[in-house]
C-alpha cells in the first residue's frame, strides 16, 4: 500500500503485525494468509509480504471478514490500598481498571496485593505486558517495605544469598535501609514477579510486612503521581523504554 500525504510513516505498521495484534493469527501464519490471497486492504487483494498499513484508516479483511484494531494505550497508576488488581471482582470490590477513564479494554501488567500500593501499569498491549513480566527479561521491581521489627544483619545476608519459598529459590538483588535510624524500613530490589514474593521472603525468616509500596517497575516510577491518580503514557515513551531494555540485553 502506498503512503498518502496524510499518513505519516510512524503511523504505519506491517500488515502481518496488524493481523497478529487483532488476535487472528501469529505473524508467521498471517504471512501465509497474505500469500494465499485471503487478505484484502481497502477492497484490494494483497499478496506482497512486508506491506505496511495505517491501522486507524485502512480496512483489512481476512476471508472477507473485517477485522478491527484497537489503538494501544498505556497508563501508569499509583495504586491505592483497598483496590483489587484485576479487571473484575466477584465480591464487587473496586478494581484498578475502574480507576482509569478509557474506552479501551485494559488490564493490569502483573499484580499488586489488595493493600499494596504504588507503581502499576495498565494496557491493552499483550506484547508489552509479556515483555515486562517474563522472568527471562529480569525487569527490576523496587519496593519500600515496613517490617514489624528491625531487620537483622544476618537475615539481610540470607535474603541476598537466597532462600527457598514455595519450593523455589528466591533472592533480593539489593536491600538497603531507608533510614539508618529506622531499621524497620527497607528498600528492596528484585527481578522476581511471583505473587506475594516480597511478603513471603520476609515471612520465611519470621518477619511480617506491615506496609508495602512498589516505588519502581523497570524504568517506571511514581514521580508526580499522587496516590489513586494516574497518567497516560505516550506510545513513543513506551517504545523508547522498550528499545533501551532490548539494547541492554544485547
What are 115's three cell numbers? 493493600
DSSP 34-95: HHTT-EEETTEE---TT-EE-TTT--EEETTEEE------EEEEEEPTT-BSSS--TT---B
* Among 194, 229, 248, CA closest to 119: 229
**97-127 in b/e burial notation, b at 16+ Cβ within 10 A?**
bebbeeeeebbbbbbbbeebbbbbbbbbbee
Separation between Cα atoms, residue 71 and residue 223, nearest integer Å = 26
Answer yes or no: 11 catalytic. Answer: no
Among candidate residues 11, 58, 89, 113, the one labeled active-site is 113
| Cβ atoms of residues 34 and 47 within 8 Å | yes
Cβ contacts of 250 within 8 Å, gap of 6 or more: none
Separation between Cα atoms, residue 75 and residue 123, nearest integer Å = 6
Neighbours of 62 (CB within 10 A): 17
| Cβ atoms of residues 75 and 100 within 8 Å | yes
* Among 99, 94, 33, 90, CA closest to 67: 33
Q: Which residues are catalytic?
A: 113
Amino acid at each position: 500500500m502506498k503512503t498518502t500525504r496524510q499518513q505519516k510513516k510512524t503511523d504505519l505498521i506491517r500488515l502481518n503485525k496488524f493481523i497478529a495484534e487483532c488476535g487472528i493469527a501469529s505473524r508467521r501464519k498471517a504471512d501465509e494468509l497474505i500469500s494465499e490471497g485471503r487478505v484484502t486492504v481497502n477492497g484490494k487483494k494483497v499478496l506482497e509480504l512486508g506491506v505496511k498499513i495505517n491501522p486507524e484508516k485502512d480496512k483489512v479483511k481476512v476471508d472477507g471478514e473485517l477485522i478491527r484494531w484497537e489503538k494501544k494505550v498505556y497508563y501508569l497508576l499509583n495504586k491505592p490500598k483497598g483496590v483489587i488488581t484485576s479487571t473484575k471482582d466477584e465480591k464487587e470490590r473496586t478494581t484498578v481498571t475502574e480507576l482509569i477513564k478509557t474506552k479501551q479494554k485494559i488490564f493490569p501488567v502483573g499484580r499488586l496485593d489488595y493493600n499494596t500500593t504504588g507503581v502499576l501499569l495498565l494496557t491493552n498491549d499483550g506484547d508489552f505486558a509479556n515483555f515486562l513480566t517474563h522472568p527471562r527479561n529480569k525487569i527490576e521491581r523496587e519496593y519500600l517495605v515496613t517490617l514489624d521489627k528491625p531487620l537483622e544483619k544476618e537475615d539481610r545476608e540470607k535474603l541476598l544469598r537466597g532462600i527457598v519459598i514455595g519450593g523455589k529459590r528466591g533472592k533480593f538483588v539489593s536491600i538497603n535501609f531507608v533510614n539508618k535510624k529506622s531499621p524497620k524500613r527497607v528498600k528492596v530490589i528484585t527481578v522476581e514477579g511471583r505473587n506475594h514474593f516480597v511478603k513471603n521472603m520476609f515471612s520465611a525468616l519470621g518477619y511480617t510486612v506491615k506496609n508495602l509500596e512498589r516505588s519502581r517497575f523497570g524504568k517506571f516510577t511514581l514521580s508526580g503521581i499522587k496516590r489513586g491518580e494516574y497518567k497516560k503514557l505516550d506510545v513513543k515513551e513506551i517504545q523508547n523504554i522498550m528499545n533501551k531494555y532490548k539494547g541492554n540485553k544485547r
